[in-house]
Amino acid sequence: MFSRRSRLVAFTCVLNDAIATTLAFLLAYLIRVWVGQREFLNLHAIYGLRTYLPILFAALVLFPCWGYVLGAYRQVELRRPRDLASDVVKMTILGLFSLLTGLFLSKGEYVSRSFLLVFAVVEFLLLAANRWLLMVGGTWFRTRPARRRHFVIVGTSAGAGELASLFEEGERFGLSLLAFVYTGDHQPSPPPGLRGTYSVLPRERLSELLHNHIVDEVVFAVDKEELLGLEPLMHQCEEEGVHMRVQLDFLPQGFSHVFVEHLSHVPLLTFASSPQNEFALFFKRVIDLVISAVTLTLLSPLFVILA
């Protein structure tokens, strides 16, 4: 799946987790109040909901934070069901541990530990249901005919074959490959190793293909010398309102981050070996500081004894 859509899925997953956490908190509170009113298991009534709201706000921060640290929101759509279940278990355990640690440090004796246990159980169930619905419902939604995206690859090189394989793997995400367009004088064979059978058309027929079929995007998978001569094809795509992408395997390799930035109105293709997401770096720094502070606080009695 394309990185931009993957980020959208990750954001949707975080938002759904926040909703699930809120529902789990309210449901757990109602269950605990009901149990306390009937004094089951010798449990008594607890404080009002307003008193517990700081716990909810802390949970809304802690659970997504642990999900981010664990990589639970990275390429969610590609993760196996076993990995999704493992993510939910780890997020629930670490989130509950963080809440208990915070209550211990802040001396929050007023918070019912049985409520936190019920909250953790309900949170696990709702997060698991959320992941399952996201996986099954998302796949169903993206594979509807109206939601499918149709691609044409210009080029028949090894890079074009790799792209075609990725499109075939992405069929469950609504990606569909229509045809190849070759740029030479003689018609080549389609790239080997593909499951499907695709037409290989000359460049002169690209305009006809755009007119007679639903084409959402055209991907140019050619070397840089050929790319310079394909400007007319790009103009055809622009006139038809078709998105274009260019495979960049002819550029220097070894850079893990490639993105476009603008200096005023001038677009610049940027290569970087380290992450450039300032928010993510700041967030990671905050997590490191919080974990370090909690660890030092918990181990301070041991340091005093050893000193």
DSSP code string of the chain: --HHHHHHHHHHHHHHHHHHHHHHHHHHHHHHHHHHHHTGGG------HHHHHHHHHHHHHHHHHHHHHHTTTSSGGGS-HHHHHHHHHHHHHHHHHHHHHHHHHHT-TTS-HHHHHHHHHHHHHHHHHHHHHHHHHHHHHHTSGGG-EEEEEE--SHHHHHHHHHHHHGGGGTEEEEEEEE-SSSPPPPPTT-SS--EEEEGGGHHHHHHHS---EEEE---HHHHHTTHHHHHHHHHHT-EEEE--TTSPS--SEEEEEEETTEEEEEEESS---HHHHHHHHHHHHHHHHHHHHHHHHHHHHH-
pLDDT of residue 2: 64
Our measurement of the distance from residue 31's CA atom to the centroid of its chain's CA atoms, rounded to an integer in Å, reads: 33
| Single pTM value for the model | 0.65
pLDDT in tens, the chain (307 residues): 566 677 777 888 888 899 999 999 999 999 988 887 777 767 777 888 888 888 899 899 889 888 888 888 887 776 777 888 889 999 999 988 888 888 887 777 788 888 889 999 999 999 999 888 877 776 666 667 667 889 999 988 888 998 999 888 888 778 889 999 998 888 888 888 898 889 899 988 888 888 888 899 999 998 887 888 888 888 888 888 899 998 887 776 666 677 777 778 787 877 776 665 566 666 667 777 777 776 777 677 766 777 6
pLDDT of residue 280: 61
pLDDT of residue 153: 93
Residue 165, both tokens? 């394989």
pLDDT of residue 102: 82
